[in-house]
Amino acid sequence: MIPAYNEEKRIRPSLEEVARFCSIFGRETEVLIVDDGSRDNTAHLVRDFIATHPEGARFELLHYDKNRGKGFAVAQGLRKSRGKFVAFSDTDLSAPIDQLPLLIQGLESGADIAIASRRLPASKVVGLPYSRQLMGKFFALLSRLLVLPGFSDTQCGFKAYRREIAYKLAGAKKSMDIPSMWNTFFWRAGCHCVWWRFLSPGFFRKAPRSTGSGIHSKCCEI
C-alpha cells in the first residue's frame, strides 16, 4: 500500500519499480495506491499506469477528492487491504521494495509487525544535514520515552503487518486524520499486545523533495 499526495514527479517511476518487483516476487500481490486529494496529476498518472502497464491488473487506485493527511490515507489503505500480510511504503521507495521479503520473513517467523529501522547499529544515514539527523534522533528518543520504550525507529516509512493487526491499528472510525499517526498506531498496538520486530537496512541517503512529502531517506543496500 502506497499513500500519495502531489507525487506526479515520481509516482510513475515508483510504480514501475514496484511492478518489476511483483513480477518476480513469486507471490500473489495487490498494490493499493491511496491518493489523498492530490491537486496535481497523481491520480491520472496512476490510472494510466493501471490501464497500460502489463502488471497493471495488480494495482488499484483509492482516490479521495479532499486532502485529509497521511494518517487518514494510511488508515484507509489498511482497511481496504485484503491480503494475509499488509505492507506500507512511502512513494519515494526510501527503502527499496525488493527488501520486502525481509519484512515478510519477520511476519512469518511470528512477529505481528515488521519495521525497517534506521537507528540500529548496522544502519548508517548519509547525505542528510546533521541538524536533520539530530532532530530525527531527538524525536525517536521522545517516542521511546513517552510512547514505546525499547524501539529504535517508529517513523521509518517501510512496515509490514499481519492483516488482523492492520485492521486493529486502523481502527473503526473513518476520520483518522491525525498528524502523528504512527505514534497513535503504535499506542494502539501496545494496547493490543502486539509483538514488534525490527529489521535494519544498511545505510540511507537523502532523496529529492516533492510537494507534500518532505525529505525522505533512500535505502541503498542491506
- Which range marks the domain in which residue 207 is found? 2-221
Output the pLDDT for position 209: 39
Average pLDDT taken over every residue of the chain: 73
CA distance 193 to 187: 10
N-to-C CA span, the chain? 22
Output the pLDDT for position 71: 83
pLDDT, tens only, 25-39 = 989 999 999 999 999
CA distance 145 to 202: 25
* Number of domains within the chain: 1
pLDDT interval class at 134 (50, 70, 90) = low
pLDDT interval class at 75 (50, 70, 90) = confident
Helix/strand/coil (H/E/C) assignment for every residue in the chain: CEEECCCCCCHHHHHHHHHHHHHHHCCCCCEEEEEECCCCCHHHHHHHHHHHCCCHHHEEEEEECCCCCHHHHHHHHHHHCCCCEEEEECCCCCCCHHHHHHHHHHHHCCCCEEEECCCCCCCEEECCCHHHHHHHHHHHHHHHHHCCCCCCCCCCCEEEEEHHHHHHHHCCCCCCCCCCHHHHHHHHHHHCCCCEEEECCCEEEECCCECCCECCEEEEEC
pLDDT, tens only, 49-64 = 999 999 999 999 999 9
Report the CATH number at residue 77: 3.90.550.10
pLDDT, tens only, 135-168 = 656 555 555 555 555 555 556 678 888 888 888 8
Output the pLDDT for position 93: 86
Output the pLDDT for position 114: 83
Least reliable range by pLDDT among 8-12, 108-112, 198-202: 198-202
pLDDT at 108 exceeding the cut of 80: yes
CA distance 4 to 74: 10
pLDDT more than 70, % of the chain: 59
Question: Inter-axis angle of helices 163-170 and 181-191, to 10 degrees?
Answer: 120
Output the pLDDT for position 65: 95
Mean pLDDT of 107-123: 70
Mean pLDDT of 72-76: 88
pLDDT at 112 exceeding the cut of 70: yes
